[in-house]
Structure 1
Amino acid sequence: MQATEALRHIHAKNVIHCDFGCHNFLTQKGGALALSGFGGSTIDSSTSQVGYATRYQRPCSMAERSANSTRKDDLFALGTVLYEITAGARIFDDVPSREIRRKFEKHEYPDLSKIPATLRTVIEKCRAYQYETVDDILLDLQKPAVPS
């Protein structure tokens, strides 16, 4: 939930992180998360000079990859962050970047059957670009789990 709230906060300030991922969270005393790594962030749709780590990058063409990042890119990355936090492991650990990109392009993702139903739905919707805002994600996270 803290990762989602952090993304909501920066989006409310018209900031797109452009490298949202577990590698850019710091753990504070008491276990609170702090988002870091703003070096490539954009404000008000400016151009970013860096991009997402492969594990957090939505599948797209090279032309799209060089275009400006959008909120939807951060939302896709949030799905991976939520997966990694819940699973306790990096997505496709020890898999080369090129292979991860290929898997994402084919919509091949790790099994989510052991992830709680509400969170599983959110992760799947992040992967399918079905969210427009972080607030939409927060609404889904607050819904009671439906047995599967």
Structure 2
Amino acid sequence: MACILGTGAQGIVSVYELDPHFILKGHEVWHGGRRKRAFVPAKRSKAALAVEDMVYKRLGFHPHILKYAGRVLVAEDTFSLKLERAKGGLRSLMLKCAAPAEQIRLQMAVQISGGMAHIHSQNVFHCDFSCRNIFVFEDWVVKIGDFGGSKIDDKEPLGAEEVRYELPLRGREWEARDYIKREIFALGCAIYEIMMWKKPFAEMTDDEIDENYANEVFPDTNGLLVGDIIRACWKEEFATAKDVEGALRKQLVDTQDMASLSLSWSMLRALQSFLYSLWPTW
């Protein structure tokens, strides 16, 4: 029996029977020479899968992009995409797991920023980036996937950001918003979601979020370790995703240095207490 993991906006995901470390993503699932499930409408799924195939080939290997193993023939003239299998999607795991340590979440933010910087370096824009499209592996390593809605070169994208991740118009026409700025705004939302372990304005409807963003009202980042970086993403202050990655890496190093310094002082105080205990009493 084919093990179907789920149906997304662009295709059906099932376990690859010849190697369960991989999944197949396609518009049809076949088992034993029989079709078990089909995506409707098939035309939309086929178009998105064709884009995704092109994007993965363009991107090549990157430690924070899902590993692509090419197309697999599942039936006559029917192909699926073969991808490495994650533990799960980040957003779904947020509902099941307690948040890891802040340092780990910051590392996750660095990873997705590096992945996005690589995507942009290959003249690709995700166009539907969010924690729905980030996948988790062992030790909280995260990778970006789901490129069916992406823009590659001059081709028009098939996708768009969810409302919580959508750059406000700010006096522009919808089509006039720069793709880099759109992606960096979405990146800031993903960093917020990772650091807070919940969606931006999780309790609000899409209409309420739309109104807030139009009025420049964003989730509160006061007290967040990287709140200033998130706000800069939302205010369109970063020129590239590489700049965001650099700012996050600096924060990560600073945090590690502070932790090391704190540990050193703790060890010194412990040593001091031990030496005092050896001092003879008069």
Same fold (TM over 0.5): yes
The separation in 1 between residues aligned to 2:194 and 2:205, in whole angstroms, is 21
| Distance change (3 Å), C-alpha of 1:67 and 1:39 | farther
Stretches of structure 1 that go unaligned for 5 or more consecutive residues are none
The separation in 1 between residues aligned to 2:177 and 2:153, in whole angstroms, is 11
Q: Percent identity?
A: 29
Amino acid at match of 1:5: G
Matches within 5 A, 1:14-53: 14-53=123-162
Deviations 1:30-67 (A, max 9, x none): 32112112111011242112210001000117973345
Residue equivalent to 1:55? 164
Residue equivalent to 1:124? 231
Task: Assess if the C-alpha contact under 8 Å between 2:113 and 2:242 holds in 1.
Answer: no
Amino acid at match of 2:249: Q
Task: Assess if the C-alpha contact under 8 Å between 1:16 and 1:69 holds in 2.
Answer: no
The separation in 1 between residues aligned to 2:171 and 2:148, in whole angstroms, is 22
The separation in 1 between residues aligned to 2:238 and 2:192, in whole angstroms, is 16
| Distance change (3 Å), C-alpha of 1:17 and 1:132 | same
Deviations 1:66-94 (A, max 9, x none): 45761111100000000110011111113
Residue equivalent to 1:96? 205
TM-superposed deviation, 1:129:
0.6
RMSD of aligned residue pairs (Cα, Å)? 2.0
The separation in 2 between residues aligned to 1:47 and 1:110, in whole angstroms, is 31
Instruction: Please say which structure displays the higher CA radius of gyration.
Output: 2
Task: Assess if the C-alpha contact under 8 Å between 1:48 and 1:69 holds in 2.
Answer: no
| Distance change (3 Å), C-alpha of 1:47 and 1:64 | farther
Residue equivalent to 1:84? 193
Scaled by the length of structure 1, what TM-score is found?
0.87
Task: Assess if the C-alpha contact under 8 Å between 1:25 and 1:36 holds in 2.
Answer: yes
The separation in 2 between residues aligned to 1:81 and 1:27, in whole angstroms, is 14
When structure 1 is superposed on structure 2, of 132-141 and 10-19 the one drifting more is: 132-141
Stretches of structure 2 that go unaligned for 5 or more consecutive residues are 1-109, 255-282
Residue equivalent to 1:142? 249
Asked which structure has the greater RCO (Cα within 8 Å, sep 6+), the reply is: 1
| Distance change (3 Å), C-alpha of 1:62 and 1:42 | farther
Residue equivalent to 2:25? none
The separation in 1 between residues aligned to 2:242 and 2:165, in whole angstroms, is 20
When structure 1 is superposed on structure 2, of 52-61 and 134-143 the one drifting more is: 134-143
Task: Assess if the C-alpha contact under 8 Å between 2:170 and 2:214 holds in 1.
Answer: no
Structure 1 runs of 4+ aligned residues shifted over 6 Å read none
Deviations 1:125-144 (A, max 9, x none): 10001111112112222335
Amino acid at match of 2:233: C
The separation in 1 between residues aligned to 2:173 and 2:145, in whole angstroms, is 25
Scaled by the length of structure 2, what TM-score is found?
0.47
Aligned pairs, how many?
143
Residue equivalent to 1:133? 240
SS in 2 for 1:103: helix
